[in-house]
Amino acid sequence: MKGKLTKLIIALVVVIVALTSCSTTIALKTLVPAKVDVSGLKSIAVMSTQDNTRWLRPSFWNSYVPIQSVDPTFRRYVSVMSGLDFGVSSAITDAASDMIYRAIDTGLSYKVIEPKLTDAYVTVGQSNMNLRKTLMDNNVDAILKTEISYLYYDEYIRQETSRYSSTDQYGRTYYQKSFYFVQQYGLTISYTLTDVENNRIIATGSFSSENREKSTKIGHTVDAFDNYTEDYYTITSASKLFRSLITEFTDSFRNELSPHYVTEYFTFYKNKPKVDSLDAAYDALEDERWKVAQDLFYAEYQKSGHINAGLNASILFFANGDHDKAFALAQEIYDKTGEPEAMDLYQQFKRITDRESAAEKQINSTEKAGANGSSSDLIGF
């Protein structure tokens, strides 16, 4: 039943049309497999993310921010409290746990067990020294362990002098000095996916951000006498910076571990060379009458061999679910004319159908990929 339902979902391709002055584009919602072979998995339990960086509190924790490259004259003006909040470590791990759980729970493949329940299973399993049995008794096929394996945070106050002169209220020329509260941050999230029944590691991996920098202007000089004025500013907490950064890992985890939908774009070919009888076909596209447009384009191609009409018909055959006809028509056009666009379409069709077949196999297979992975030790959790 699940296999039939999956095929139905794949067949009912969602079509969206965006019109511009030059062309009409169709966006098809297509199914792709996870990069990791999750075949045969009916449930994955997600552990809460752990912070294993042994991140020591910096010397400026809950104190004034270090000052770098600031003239002594201004140091008394630019003292600000650190943006590093005490709850940053738990905020990071909580955000990562929630992001990963939501990212892989696409509703298309396996059931995803939330971190709190998974942690409870792990606690019970470790206490009775048989984690594997505890997980299997609760119908867990695989367990996903994640950790913050690298974390970087630094902050300081920096002075910058403008390259361009300004004029103060007295008409004197000066070069404005500006002062910034600088926060630098980055992290890496690592994962291990283990097949519980076979006690095998299915996959391991990690995703890293580049180190980011956020600068907040806190003040500047206003005249040739270097009088200082404070700017209106709000310091962003380290927790908020990291939570925002972690959301950017969503696509990486979804692509890695869960079959999901992506959007594939096709652009229709113009009425070139111009054929008046095709105006009705393009009007049908604008009105979203896909089958009508398909038949009109195909009829013109059969009558006159109009290449662009044939290419458009091929796209619509594919969008309307007649994949065999789409492949055959694109191949026919290429064989007759050698048009590279026809072969490009054929290859795009093939890429989409190959991905959907692979995704369907992952969703419906009963053979677990973990059976061939490296050995694990679930008690070691």
Query: Which pLDDT value is given to residue 92?
Result: 93
In terms of domains, do 65 and 19 share one?
A: no
106: domain range? 43-258
Task: Answer whether residue 19 shows pLDDT above 50.
Answer: no
In terms of domains, do 196 and 231 share one?
A: yes
With respect to residue 140, please indicate whether it lies within any of the assigned structural domains.
Answer: yes
Distance CA 107, CA 363 (A): 11
Burial class of residue 313, CB neighbours in 10 A (0-12, 13-18, 19+)? buried
Last residue of a domain, one of 207, 227, 258: 258
Query: Which pLDDT value is given to residue 25?
Result: 86
Kindly report, residue by residue over 282-329, the tens digit of the pLDDT.
Answer: 999 988 899 999 999 999 999 999 999 999 999 999 999 999 999 999
With respect to residue 372, please indicate whether it lies within any of the assigned structural domains.
Answer: no
In terms of domains, do 114 and 172 share one?
A: yes
Q: Which of 175, 180, 182 has the alpha carbon at shortest distance from 155?
A: 182
Kindly report, residue by residue over 137-169, the tens digit of the pLDDT.
Answer: 999 999 999 999 999 998 999 999 999 999 988
Bridging pattern class, strands 50-51 and 374-375: unpaired
Query: Which pLDDT value is given to residue 23?
Result: 53
Kindly report, residue by residue over 79-116, the tens digit of the pLDDT.
Answer: 888 888 878 888 999 999 999 999 999 999 899 999 99
In terms of domains, do 296 and 326 share one?
A: yes
Instruction: pLDDT band for 376, please (50, 70, 90 cuts).
Output: low
Task: Answer whether residue 5 shows pLDDT above 50.
Answer: no
- Which of 40-54, 60-74, 204-218, 271-285 is predicted with the least confidence, judged by mean pLDDT? 60-74
Query: Which pLDDT value is given to residue 375?
Result: 65
Kindly report, residue by residue over 254-271, the tens digit of the pLDDT.
Answer: 999 999 999 999 999 999
CATH code at position 358: 1.25.40.10
In terms of domains, do 144 and 187 share one?
A: yes
Tokens standing for 339?
């048009």
In terms of domains, do 199 and 321 share one?
A: no
Q: Which residue has the higher pLDDT, 359 or 11?
A: 359
With respect to residue 69, please indicate whether it lies within any of the assigned structural domains.
Answer: yes
Number of domains in the chain: 2
With respect to residue 375, please indicate whether it lies within any of the assigned structural domains.
Answer: no
Q: What is the CA radius of gyration of the chain?
A: 29
Query: Which pLDDT value is given to residue 374?
Result: 60
CATH code at position 75: 3.40.50
In terms of domains, do 184 and 95 share one?
A: yes
In terms of domains, do 57 and 202 share one?
A: yes
Last residue of a domain, one of 202, 227, 258: 258
Instruction: pLDDT band for 353, please (50, 70, 90 cuts).
Output: very high
In terms of domains, do 53 and 29 share one?
A: no
Last residue of a domain, one of 237, 258, 279: 258
120 to 47, 117, 134, 138, 178: CA distances (angstroms): 9, 5, 10, 11, 52
In terms of domains, do 223 and 280 share one?
A: no
Phi-psi region at 188: left, alpha or beta (left = phi > 0; alpha = psi -120 to 50): beta
In terms of domains, do 235 and 91 share one?
A: yes
pTM: 0.83
With respect to residue 29, please indicate whether it lies within any of the assigned structural domains.
Answer: yes
In terms of domains, do 240 and 305 share one?
A: no
Query: Which pLDDT value is given to residue 59?
Result: 47
With respect to residue 377, please indicate whether it lies within any of the assigned structural domains.
Answer: no
Query: Which pLDDT value is given to residue 9?
Result: 43
**Distance, C-alpha 13 to centroid of its chain:** 22
Q: What number is the average pLDDT over the span 322-347? A: 96
Q: What is the DSSP letter of 223?
A: S
Query: Which pLDDT value is given to residue 85?
Result: 83
